[in-house]
Amino acid sequence: MATGGLVPPLLEPLASPPGGGGAPILRARLLEILRALYEHHPRPKEFIMRFGIPEALRQLLEGEGRGEDAVRLEAQKLLNAFHINVLL
């Protein structure tokens, strides 16, 4: 699934300006799906670099406003997981 073209459509709503990518709960769920794809990918480092996911998450964290706690939490959890994987 992670290699079959599912990731770009998942990232698209996350890259939209706050409020333009749907409700915060939708964005949080998209991040959870992204996390599942990452955790089950045979080459997770390649997965995150191929789609530029860390940069998309950083932009998401910078752009989120008040009331977006679930989105910020999920994005930060993913970035932490990516950082640990890169160090290993």
54, 9 Cβ separation under 8 angstroms: no
pLDDT at 86 over 80: no
Residue 3 belongs to a domain: no
- pLDDT in the model for residue 19: 56
Averaged pLDDT score across all residues of the chain: 80
Residue 70 belongs to a domain: yes
- pLDDT in the model for residue 21: 55
Give the number of domains in the chain: 1
| Dihedral Cα 73, 74, 75, 76, nearest 10 deg | 50
- pLDDT in the model for residue 33: 92
What's the CA gap between 67 and 71, in Å, rounded? Answer: 9
- pLDDT in the model for residue 37: 92
Structural domain containing residue 45:
14-87
